[in-house]
């Protein structure tokens, strides 16, 4: 069985390792996958040996919280976690303020036998109060033989307590200063914990605002004919629901009454609406365009298309490559290094000093060991990453970009391949007129078409009106009558003449001119929709409509190619349409007619070949690939499932923001490395000095203040070097001479294999 849980309290990749080790130690647990970015775990277990309650209990014993599966409740619990961290920080800050005041008084010459004991009380209250959760996390980490920043903090805090307790009896040890170390290092660690939670919660707030725009209820028709608004989760097979114009189909079902046209682009990738009549199947997540229909529910829960997508998302999340954050990679060696140097201090001043001078210096050895532990804790380290992310995340938010996961900043610097969805990502996701054929000397017939289609709610009709308005302006002609023939076109009477706009079969026009037939065939082969126009029975013009590129698509992809990225397209759309779009963008590698799980499989194949991959999409069918990718980037105009699956969300539909995402990611990662160098530089100087046994604790606290100040200055004082956004293109993309390669879904696995000529 599989168990997926939302987890609170994870702060680093060491947390993921601790959870995996603990759960895999339970008999019956087969696999454990942890997603730090999405704060989720997926557990595969044998129900004969282990239960869900057992898994939850172990997680709670480790110090983590299991959040409510309900999305909004989970966000509320995350907000509560931030509030708790804020209270801890406020309490620790007040205690640190009192401790600082007392230490300043001691430095100014005030002496009292009570002061060391007051400082001891402050140290214990800070260490066990607001810092108590750190102690528990450190103990759990040691239990699983993991050395992380929690362990490093506790070594410094215990060194401060130990030195202070010794100082109560031995004047050589400054008791007040040692106790002050415990207070200040604990406060700094609480501060870094609050900053880490803040980075995650700030993005979650914006994501929650996006997702709350999606309806969670549906109108159910009861047996007595009454209508009842109920949550989607309460539907059962056999229920009848009413889907009104503009609403999304909530479930998989069969149309039982009414006719409409449905936009299934977020499911299939096809941007053109599909006519649905009684007996036709509809898929949950598709958008009802212009008709009221009654749908019989045929599948709910895991049996629906959306349920299957969720399963594919879980599988993709489980097989997504793990990411060990930079700070954790450094800590892996740094913590063991600090412990080794502390032990070296004992060796130097006890057996070493005895061997050289004939006298062991035990007190100096203990003092040096404690000083090494105190100097070994880099107070600014915990804030090195969050501060860089807060700065870059703030700049990103100003540009309409939301970073959900700090890991995304790190991975972006290693990205080599960009995989794009087509519909709604590279294209507008709506039809536009791309070509016309006129049977008259001028295009005046567009004014009649505009009048006929003015009241149409159909996407093709709105596209025709936009095109007509841009070419002939707003006309004074008005339709006296207007009738829609679903699946065919419209019939209107304008100035006493009948104007018909619709498909060739609907208008029953007979075209015997070879040049016109060639024009029609060329557009149909490219996947375009051809619409004819007749006035009083006479054919006056033809319109070709298709989903068109975004204004900034060509310039954006050209700039990405110049920066060395390899670009591929993964789409569920038809091959002719994919070929046309790919050629106009200069994309050489295209996979067409892919199902959601096949998109994820293609990403996974590239990862297995050693590539870091970004996936950019917006639809339900992109969600598994967004999850599988090293960094998933969703367009904010997309579906809630896509947004939930992504690591980065671009608000709106501006594709040029992708360049800014990549630049911000690289800048934030560079700033993180700089912050870490600054954080460790003071330790690199202080630890060797502490080894001598002459370093006073007050200098350790001075180093804390200086390192934190340096990191703050680097994070916020220096401007970010992010270039201006991409402008609309003025010309064709480079590299158009090379032939395109387009594959059907049966060739998906083959096309994902790397070769020398056309690398993905």
pLDDT beyond 50 at 747: no
Could you tell me the maximum CA-CA distance found in the chain, to the nearest angstrom? 119
> 3-state DSSP call for residue 336?
helix
Q: Which residue has the higher pLDDT, 67 or 537?
A: 537
CA distances in angstroms from 629 to 63, 130, 325, 632, listed in the order given: 29, 38, 17, 6
- Mean local confidence (pLDDT), 280-291: 82
- Alpha carbons 624 and 592: distance in angstroms, whole number: 16
- Cβ distance 484 to 490 under 8 Å? yes
Chain mean pLDDT for the chain: 81
- Alpha carbons 259 and 458: distance in angstroms, whole number: 13
What 8-state DSSP symbol labels residue 740? P
How does pLDDT run across 612-642, given as a tens digit for each residue? 999 999 877 888 899 889 999 988 776 666 7
| pLDDT of res. 714 | 80
Strands (E), 566-674: 566-570, 589-591, 613-617, 631-635, 648-650
* Cβ count near 702 (within 10 Å): 13
644 band by pLDDT with thresholds 50, 70 and 90: confident
pLDDT beyond 90 at 602: yes
Query: Is beta strand 566-570 parallel, antiparallel or unpaired with respect to 417-420?
Result: parallel
- Mean local confidence (pLDDT), 391-419: 80
Q: List the CATH code of the domain at 429-549.
A: 3.40.1110.10
Q: List the CATH code of the domain at 2-67.
A: 3.30.70.100
pLDDT beyond 80 at 307: no
What 8-state DSSP symbol labels residue 215? -
What are the sequence ranges of the domains in the chain? 2-67, 429-549
CA dihedral 185, 190, 194, 195 (to 10 degrees): 10
How does pLDDT run across 92-105, given as a tens digit for each residue? 999 999 999 998 88
* 650, β-bridge pairs: 401, 635
- Give me the sheet containing 401-403, strands edge to edge: 401-403, 648-650, 631-635, 613-617, 417-420, 566-570, 589-591, 741-743
Burial of 263 by CB count in 10 Å (0-12 exposed, 13-18 middle, 19+ buried)? buried
Dihedral angle sign, alpha carbons of residues 537, 538, 542, 543? negative
Strands (E), 466-618: 479-485, 489-494, 497-502, 529-535, 538-549, 566-570, 589-591, 613-617
| pLDDT of res. 699 | 81
- Residue 297 region by backbone torsions, left for phi larger than 0, else alpha for psi between -120 and 50, else beta: beta
Q: Lowest mean pLDDT: which of 267-281, 299-313, 566-580?
A: 299-313
How does pLDDT run across 436-461, given as a tens digit for each residue? 999 998 888 999 999 999 888 788 88
What 8-state DSSP symbol labels residue 248? B
What 8-state DSSP symbol labels residue 42? E
Looking up tokens 């380290």, which residue turns up?
Answer: 381
DSSP 156-211: HHHHHHHHHHHHTT-TTS-HHHHHHHHHHHHHHHHHHHHHHHHHHHHHHHHHHHHH
- Mean local confidence (pLDDT), 148-158: 87
CA distances in angstroms from 585 to 240, 581, 730, 735, listed in the order given: 44, 6, 13, 10
| pLDDT of res. 562 | 92
| pLDDT of res. 262 | 85
Per-residue tokens: 324? 């060990």
Helix axes 13-24, 132-143, angle to 10 degrees: 50
Percent of the chain with pLDDT over 70: 83
Dihedral angle sign, alpha carbons of residues 687, 689, 695, 698? negative
- Mean local confidence (pLDDT), 394-420: 81
- Cβ distance 298 to 288 under 8 Å? no
pLDDT beyond 50 at 90: yes
- Cβ distance 753 to 601 under 8 Å? no
Q: Which residues are catalytic?
A: 421
How does pLDDT run across 210-268, given as a tens digit for each residue? 445 445 688 899 888 788 888 877 888 899 999 988 788 888 899 999 888 888 766 66
Reference 480, options 461, 458, 498; nearest CA is 498
* Cβ count near 282 (within 10 Å): 26
Reference 546, options 561, 531, 563, 560; nearest CA is 531
- Alpha carbons 519 and 504: distance in angstroms, whole number: 14
pTM: 0.66
| Consecutive H or E run containing 315 | helix 305-319
- Alpha carbons 244 and 250: distance in angstroms, whole number: 11
How does pLDDT run across 461-501, given as a tens digit for each residue? 889 999 999 888 877 788 888 888 877 889 999 988 999 99
- Mean local confidence (pLDDT), 661-671: 85
Per-residue tokens: 205? 């707030």
Q: Lowest mean pLDDT: which of 84-88, 605-609, 662-666?
A: 662-666
- Alpha carbons 611 and 72: distance in angstroms, whole number: 35
* 67, β-bridge pairs: 6
| pLDDT of res. 753 | 38
pLDDT beyond 90 at 201: no
> 3-state DSSP call for residue 41?
strand
- Alpha carbons 67 and 5: distance in angstroms, whole number: 7
Per-residue tokens: 490? 């419209």
Per-residue tokens: 519? 């024009």
290 band by pLDDT with thresholds 50, 70 and 90: confident
Percent of the chain with pLDDT over 90: 28
Number of separate helices (H) and strands (E) present in the chain: 26, 27
- b/e 143-163 (16+ beta carbons within 10 angstroms → b): eeebbbbbbbbbbbbbbbbbb
């Amino acid at each position: 069985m599989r168990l997926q849980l939302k987890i609170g309290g994870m702060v680093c990749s060491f947390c993921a390792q601790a959870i995996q080790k603990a759960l895999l130690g339970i008999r019956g647990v087969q696999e454990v996958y942890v997603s730090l970015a999405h704060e989720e775990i997926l557990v595969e277990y044998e129900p004969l040996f282990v239960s869900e309650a057992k898994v939850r209990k172990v997680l709670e014993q480790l110090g983590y919280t299991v959040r409510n599966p309900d999305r909004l409740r989970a966000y509320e619990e995350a907000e509560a976690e931030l509030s708790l961290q804020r209270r801890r920080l406020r309490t620790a800050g007040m205690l640190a303020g009192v401790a600082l005041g007392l230490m300043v008084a001691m430095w100014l010459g005030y002496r009292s036998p009570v002061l060391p004991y007051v400082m001891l009380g402050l140290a214990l209250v800070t260490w066990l109060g607001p810092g108590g959760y750190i102690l528990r996390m450190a103990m759990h980490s040691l239990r699983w033989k993991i050395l992380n920043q929690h362990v490093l903090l506790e070594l410094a805090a215990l060194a401060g307590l130990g030195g202070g307790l010794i100082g109560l009896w031995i004047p050589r040890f400054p008791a007040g200063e040692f106790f002050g170390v415990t207070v200040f290092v604990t406060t700094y660690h609480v501060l870094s914990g609050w900053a880490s939670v803040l980075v995650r919660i700030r993005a979650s707030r914006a994501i929650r605002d996006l997702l709350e725009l999606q309806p969670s209820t549906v109108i159910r028709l009861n047996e007595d004919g009454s209508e009842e608004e109920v949550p989607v989760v309460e539907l059962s097979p056999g229920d009848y629901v009413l889907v009104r114009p503009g609403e999304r189909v909530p479930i998989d079902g069969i149309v039982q009454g009414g006719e409409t046209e449905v936009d299934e682009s977020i499911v299939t990738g096809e941007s053109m609406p599909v006519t649905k009549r009684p007996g036709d199947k509809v898929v949950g997540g598709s958008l009802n365009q212009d008709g009221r229909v009654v749908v019989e529910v045929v599948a709910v829960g895991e049996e629906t298309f959306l349920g299957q997508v969720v399963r594919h998302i879980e599988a993709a999340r489980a097989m997504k490559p793990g990411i060990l954050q930079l700070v954790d990679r450094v800590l892996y060696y740094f913590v063991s290094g600090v412990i080794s140097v502390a032990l070296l201090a004992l060796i130097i001043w006890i057996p070493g000093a005895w061997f050289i001078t004939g006298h062991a210096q035990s007190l100096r050895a203990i003092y040096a060991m404690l000083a090494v532990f105190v100097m070994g804790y880099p107070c600014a380290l915990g804030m090195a990453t969050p501060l860089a992310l807060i700065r870059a995340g703030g700049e990103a938010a100003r540009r309409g970009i939301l970073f959900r996961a700090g890991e995304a900043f790190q991975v972006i610097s290693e990205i080599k391949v960009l995989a794009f969805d087509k519909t709604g990502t590279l294209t507008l996701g709506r039809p536009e007129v791309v070509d016309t054929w006129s049977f008259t000397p001028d295009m005046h017939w567009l004014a009649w078409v505009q009048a006929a289609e003015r009241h149409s709610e159909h996407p093709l009709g709105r596209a025709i009106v936009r095109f007509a308005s841009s070419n002939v302006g707003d006309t004074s002609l008005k339709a006296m009558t207007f009738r829609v023939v679903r699946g065919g076109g419209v019939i209107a009477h304008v100035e006493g003449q009948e104007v018909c706009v619709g498909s060739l079969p609907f208008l029953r026009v007979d075209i015997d001119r070879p040049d016109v037939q060639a024009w029609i065939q060329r557009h149909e082969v490219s996947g375009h929709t051809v619409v004819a126009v007749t006035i009083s029975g006479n054919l006056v013009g033809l319109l070709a409509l298709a989903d068109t590129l975004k204004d900034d698509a060509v310039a954006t992809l050209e700039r990405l190619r110049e920066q060395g990225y390899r670009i591929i397209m993964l789409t569920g759309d038809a091959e002719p349409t994919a070929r046309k779009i790919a050629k106009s963008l200069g994309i050489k590698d295209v996979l067409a007619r892919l199902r959601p799980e096949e998109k994820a499989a293609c990403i996974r194949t590239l990862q297995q070949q050693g590539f870091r991959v970004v996936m950019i999409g917006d639809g339900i069918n992109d969600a598994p690939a967004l999850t599988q990718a090293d960094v998933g980037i969703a367009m904010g105009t997309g579906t809630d499932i896509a947004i939930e699956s992504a690591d980065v969300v671009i608000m709106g539909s501006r594709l040029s923001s992708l360049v800014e995402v990549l630049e911000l990611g690289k800048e934030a990662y560079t700033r993180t490395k700089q912050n870490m160098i600054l954080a460790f530089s003071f330790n690199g100087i202080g630890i060797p000095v502490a080894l001598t046994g002459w370093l006073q604790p007050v200098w350790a606290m001075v180093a804390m203040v200086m390192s934190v100040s340096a990191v703050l200055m680097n994070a916020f004082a220096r401007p970010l070097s992010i270039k201006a956004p991409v402008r609309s293109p003025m010309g064709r993309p480079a590299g158009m001479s090379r032939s395109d390669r387009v594959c059907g879904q049966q060739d998906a696995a083959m096309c994902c294999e790397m070769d020398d000529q056309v690398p993905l």
